[in-house]
Structure formats: structure tokens, C-alpha cells
Structure 1
């Protein structure tokens, strides 16, 4: 309700449908169809078909004609279909109205009053949209609440001028009973159900007992004031209906609603996670590194023995196999993530071993790393170090420490910084992988990871701890 505008066109349709169906059913059951004369029969059928025609006309204009105009912008269609709907409903309602003597002439005041009420409601909604629905709007709760209030006000206004057909019972239903039921449901949700859900059962019970006492006290006071104990009977019935029918049924819907929200949040998290994983894969498959590694292997094959080349090819194959297969899993052994990291650093060492200005230190546990971890959470920080921390002309260093403990993993990366120039095509994409892994950490390990990133003009430092 706070994050978006509710679908009020559908809500208005269901409210109006409930209103007219209630009117029709009330008129059907309130009249005995046996032994009716001609005039009584005309009144009976008029009270059924006039609300039915109103409902059909509202549906065609509110749910079909006007939404189509908003979609295609064709004014001619809007005018033609509106005129056809107007004359069709006007003639049909006029025939029943005159036949039942609801109006002395064919020009029915209640018909045009209804159109005026609908037009006035539309005008107020248009003004409200222009005032409250701006591009800067972030909290739509006040707007949504105001729209509900306006719907109720215009329903009451419509009923007041529709009394000849709707009847007193329907007016009491919508003016008194429905608001009371809605008020009790809201009271139950915010002051009883929600407090129980938060574990505050004592407060919830207090509000529940307070409500029963208030209702019982009102009817006791009323019966004493009138001197008639019969007024206690409706009070007892109301309390019984609240305790046995209204609150239990509303609690069922509240639980369904919570379950629905939970499913939406779960699906949203999965979508965010899938999007992050897809973007992560795109950002981490670095073609420059793969080409450099292959060129290095090719050079070793020409100038050295086959042992280094075979070792390099094996490590590169293990990395590619990891990226193609295990990287698609939700969880993998920490040891496999560590092996990928070791292979990556070994290949970089193979490429950079003849560079005197480059110092690479990688310390890690030799023993097996226990536990499971989401794949490709460690490598982005190491890859970023090699991407921005190596220069063949200046002194460069990369120091990596990986510690696997029981139930946690700790990674520290410290590297020199060599700023790329403005024309470097990779400068614009710098940081995409890091931002992506930060998002994945928030989704996969909320409140279970610690990430510290610091930098100055000379060096870059990252500390990452993950509770598995």
C-alpha cells in the first residue's frame, strides 16, 4: 500500500458490483411475487432491472470504454460508445421508471443525479492525481487511503438519492454495518493479530478484552437508559459474531495475506539473486585474462618443456570446468572455491613470473576447508587486484590471505594501485564485478558477512569474512 498505487479501477468495480447486487437481492427477497397486480409487478421488476442496467452501463464505460480511450487515445470511439451507452441505459431505465411510476416523466432526476455523482467523482480523482501523484512521490499510502475514503463517500451520496429503489435496509448496510465491520477488521489486524505476530500476546489480549468490554458496556448502558433488557440481546449476538465468526475468519485471511506476501518476497529475492548471478557471470568472464593465459601457454610450449604447459592447461581447464558447471549451483564446497582461487593465482604467477617489479604473495590453509559457500564470492576481489594492481613499469604487489575456519571463511587482499587513463575501455566497467558481489552478499548472507574496503593513492585493501 505504501510502495505503489492500488488498482482502484478494479476496486471501484467490485465495490459498485457489491452495491448493486445487494440492492437487487434485497429487492428480490423483500417482495412476495405471489398475487401481485400489474402495478405491483412493474414496481417489482423495475427494482430489479434498473440497478442491473445501471451496473451494466457502469461496467461498459468504467471498465471498457474509458480504459480503451486511455490506451489508444481515440476520442471518436470514446464519444460514440459513450453516447450509445448513455441512450441505451437512459431509454431502458426510463421505460421501467415510467412503468413503475418512479418518475412522473421520462426525464428521471435520479438517473441524471447518478451520472452527475459519477462525473463529480471522476473530476475529484483527476485533481487528486495531479496534486499527489508526482514523479517525486515515494509514499503512496496517503493517496490510497484518501481514494478509499472518496469511494465510500460517493457510495453513500449515491444511496441517498437512490432511496426509492435501494430501500432503507441497503442504506443501513452501507452507512452503518459495513463501516462497523471494516472498523472491527482493522482493529483486529493492527491491535490484535499484528501484536500476536510480533510476540506481544499480552497486549493483544488486552485490546481484545477491551473491545468486548466496550461493546458490552454500550448495550448495558443503552438497556438501562431505555429500561428494557431486550436491548442486551443484540449486544450478545454482536459479541458472539465478533468472537466466533468475524475475528476467526478475518484471521484466516490475514494469514493467507501474510503467506502471499512471503511468497512474493521469496520470488523477488530469487529474481534479484538470478539477476545478480547473471550479471556476475557476464562481468567475471574476462576475455583479456583468458587470452593472456592462452598466449602464455603458447609461449611456454615454444620455449620450455611441456611440463609447465601441461600444468597451465590443466589449471585453466579446471577453472573453465568450474565456471561452466559448479558455478550454476546454489552452494558448493568451500574447498572447490578455494581450488578455483589457487588455480587463478597460479596462472597469474605463470604469466608474471619473469617480471622483477611484481611481487605476489598468496598464503592459505593447506588442510581441507569445511562447509558450503555460494560460488564466485571470493574471486572478484582477487581478480580486481590483478586487474588494477599490476604494472610492468612500476613496483607492484599483491598479497592475498585465505583462512578457512570451522563455520567461516576469511579473505584479505592488499594490492598496489595503478590508475588507468581515461581512454582505457576497462575503466568504465571498473567496479561492476565488485558492486555485483556486494549485492550477492547482501542477498545470500544478510547479517552474516563483514566486508571492509579501503584505499588510498598507493594501495587497496579488502577484508571479507563470511559465516557459512
Structure 2
């Protein structure tokens, strides 16, 4: 309520709907339909259909025509539809009003009074927006409270001039009963339930007893002043209703509301923590990549007299551009992640392609890879394979399969294990490990990924499937 403007157009619609439905139900229940003559039947149906026509007209203009005008700004369409709604409702309501003898002609005071009430409400809201929303202060709580008060005031004004059709029960409901219930609920929230939650049980009990005492004194005074003990009955009913119904029900909803806020706060903390963890994990990727790339170029220079250095630097440049421009994005095209993976494997092949005891197989579909994926999810598994799966003395192999499907990506990596290879340039490199990837997958793709890791003394196997 403090941080944003509440959706008052929807709130106004539900308030007006509740108002007119209450009027219709009251008219249906309060008027006996048995033995009605013709004139009485017309009046009966007029009290049902006139509120329905008002409600339909309000919906068409307030929820359809005017919001569309605010979006497209077409004044001609606003004027045409407004005229159609006006004359359509005017003729229908006039026909029912004249037929039911609510008025002697089509110039119905209550109809134009209703339009005046709606126009006045709109004018005051416009002025209120110009005054309060023009400020730089982003505290919307005063604005929201004033809007609620204005809605209630104009509902009361409408009921007072619509009373012949609405009837006394609905007027009493909206003018007396509902405000009284709201006042009691707020009294309970701030002075009884609220104080009790703060540990101030003595003060909460005092306010609770004070409320009962005030109601009892008020109705006792009425009974004495009028000399009629029957005035005590409403007071007793109200006190019982407060003790047995209103306060217990409101306390139940207060607890539900607090639990709801607690869950939101818990989720907010988890999201903030996950965001921080994700940022930290991403920050670890850059130095990891740099160390691996430099070690790869170093090993290539040692073994090949710099013949393929230019090609290595070109692929390294492509990878660095990827890191600088796309690694910090939330999602990137899958084809870009694939290109990075291909460049990495090609760069590794430059240093080991002349080693006959090393077999590198990289299969991937040549077509495009649809969809988007979080960056740097696939490469850690391939880096891990080259880090632990290559030996210049022993037979080694790395088999990589990348399949891009519509809506998913599948990566399989199978490699030999040589953990004590002293000549491996990447042996001493610091890496982010699989824990990093697991955390990112849990944060970014909860329930939408499948990660299988198997290992024995000779080989290592990873299968990863991600639903995009």
C-alpha cells in the first residue's frame, strides 16, 4: 500500500458490483411475488432491471470504453461509445421508471443525479492525481487511503439519491452496518490483537473490556432515556456478535495475513540470497576461464613451436568477446553457447592434436540451436574433462556429444581420468568445479534439468539435460 498505487479501477468495479447485487437481492427477497397485480409486477421487475442496467452501463464505460481511450487516445471512439451507452441506458431505465410510476416522464432526476455523482467522483480523482501524484515523494499510502474514503463517500451519496429503488435495508447496510464492522475490525487490529502480539496483554485486555463497556453503557442509556428495555436487546446482540463472531473471525484473518507476509519475507530473502549466490558464482567463472586459456596457449607454445598460435589467439579472442558481451546476461541464444563450446574444444585440440595416445571426439548437430539458455552452463563439464581426462603418457579419451532440440539441450561427456598427471598444464589451475554448476542449475532451472554424474577409477561420465 505504501510502495504502489492500488488497482482502484478493479476495486471500484467490485465495490459497485457488490452494491448493485446487494440492491437486486434485497429487492428480490423483500418483495413477495404472490398475488401481485399488474402494476405491482412492473414495479417489482423495475427494481431488479434498473440496477442491472446501471451496473452494465458502469461496466461498459468504466471498465471498457474509458480504459481503451486511455490506451489509444481516440476521442471519436470515446464520444461515440459514450453516447450509445448514455442513450441506451437512458431509454431502458426511463421505460422501466415510467412503467413503474417511479417518475412521470423520461427526465428522471435519479438518473441524472447518478451521472452527476459519477462525473463528480471522476473530477475529484483527476484533481487528486494532479496534486498528490505530481510530488516526488513515492509514499502512496496517503493517496490510497484518500481513494478508499472517496469511494465510500460517493457510494453513500449515490445510495441517498437512489434510495427509492435501493431501499432502506441497503442504505442501512452501507451507511451504518459496514462502517461499524470496519471500525470494530480496525479497533481490534490496532488496540486488541496488535497490542497482544506485541506482548502488551494487559493493555489489550483493557481496550477489549473498554469496548464492551462503551457499547453496554450506550444501549443502557437508550433504554433508560426511552423507558423501553427492548433497546437493550440490540446491545446484547452486538456484544455477543463481537465476542463470539467478529473478533474471532477477524483474528483468524489477521493470523493468515501475518503468515502470508512472513512467507513473502522468507521468499524475498531466499531470492536475494540466490541472486547474490548467482552473482558470486558468475564472478568465479571469469578468472577460471582466463587461467585455463593461458595454460592452453602455454602448452601449445611448448609443444608446437608456435605454428598454430595465430589460430589459437583468434579462437581465444572469440571466447573473450563472448565473456565480455554475453556472459553477464541472464539468457543468451543456445547457438552462442554452442559456438563458445566449439571454440574451446578447437583451442584444446591445437595443443593435443599430435598426441597419438589422446582421442578427442566431439559430435554436435550442424543445424541451428533454437531457444535461449543461461550462459556458461555447459562449458564447465567440458573443462573438467580436459582437466582430468588428458595424459601425455597414458591413453586418454574425451567423448563429447551436444544435441540441441526444440525446447531442450542435452550434453554427454565421457572422459578418462588421470588425476596425478604432472605434465598437464591445467593440473594446478583453480576451477569452479561441479558444485558451481549444480548451484546455478538449482537456482536457474529448478525442476527443469536432469544431471547425472558417474565415476569410477578409469573414467568419468556426465549427462545433462536442460528444458529451456
Shared fold (TM-score, shorter chain, > 0.5) = yes
- What residue number does 2:293 align with? 291
- What residue number does 2:413 align with? none
1:78-100, Cα deviation, whole Å (9 max, x unpaired) = 22222221111111101100101
Report matched runs for 1:62-81 at 5 Å. 62-81=62-81
Contact map agreement 1:300 1:309 (CA 8 A) in 2:
no
Matched, 1:314 2:427: yes
Report matched runs for 1:64-463 at 5 Å. 64-134=64-134, 136-286=136-286, 287-295=289-297, 310=423, 313-316=426-429, 319-325=432-438
How far did residue 278 of structure 1 move?
3.2
Contact map agreement 2:156 2:175 (CA 8 A) in 1:
yes
CA 1:244–1:146: 2 relative to 1, 3 Å: same
Q: Which runs of 5+ in 1 are unaligned?
A: 331-468
1:118-142, Cα deviation, whole Å (9 max, x unpaired) = 0110111011111111362321111
How far did residue 326 of structure 1 move?
5.6
Q: Secondary structure at the match of 2:6?
A: coil
CA 1:66–1:296: 2 relative to 1, 3 Å: same
RMSD of Structure 2 on Structure 1 (CA): 2.6
How far did residue 289 of structure 1 move?
4.2
CA 1:311–1:148: 2 relative to 1, 3 Å: same
CA 1:220–1:297: 2 relative to 1, 3 Å: farther
* Distance in 2 of aligned mates of 1:62 and 1:271: 38
Report matched runs for 1:20-99 at 5 Å. 20-99=20-99
- What residue number does 1:396 align with? none
Q: Secondary structure at the match of 1:316?
A: coil
Q: Secondary structure at the match of 1:313?
A: coil
Contact map agreement 1:159 1:166 (CA 8 A) in 2:
yes
* Distance in 2 of aligned mates of 1:103 and 1:220: 44
* Distance in 2 of aligned mates of 1:86 and 1:144: 30
Q: Secondary structure at the match of 1:285?
A: helix
* Distance in 2 of aligned mates of 1:171 and 1:325: 63
CA 1:237–1:301: 2 relative to 1, 3 Å: farther
Structure 1 stretch displaced more, 139-148 or 263-272: 263-272
TM-score, structure 1 length as denominator? 0.65
Q: Secondary structure at the match of 1:169?
A: helix
* Distance in 2 of aligned mates of 1:147 and 1:29: 33
Contact map agreement 2:193 2:204 (CA 8 A) in 1:
yes
Q: Secondary structure at the match of 1:5?
A: coil
How far did residue 260 of structure 1 move?
2.4
* Distance in 1 of aligned mates of 2:65 and 2:265: 35
How far did residue 37 of structure 1 move?
1.4
* Distance in 2 of aligned mates of 1:53 and 1:231: 40
* Distance in 2 of aligned mates of 1:49 and 1:310: 91
Contact map agreement 2:295 2:426 (CA 8 A) in 1:
no
* Distance in 2 of aligned mates of 1:42 and 1:275: 66
CA 1:302–1:192: 2 relative to 1, 3 Å: farther
* Distance in 2 of aligned mates of 1:271 and 1:239: 46
* Distance in 1 of aligned mates of 2:149 and 2:156: 11
CA 1:68–1:311: 2 relative to 1, 3 Å: same
How far did residue 298 of structure 1 move?
5.8
TM-score, structure 2 length as denominator? 0.65
Q: Which runs of 5+ in 2 are unaligned?
A: 306-391, 394-419, 444-468
1:405-459, Cα deviation, whole Å (9 max, x unpaired) = xxxxxxxxxxxxxxxxxxxxxxxxxxxxxxxxxxxxxxxxxxxxxxxxxxxxxxx
CA 1:60–1:267: 2 relative to 1, 3 Å: farther
- Equivalent residue pairs, number: 329
Contact map agreement 1:300 1:308 (CA 8 A) in 2:
no
Contact map agreement 1:297 1:309 (CA 8 A) in 2:
no
CA 1:326–1:129: 2 relative to 1, 3 Å: closer
Q: Secondary structure at the match of 2:29?
A: helix
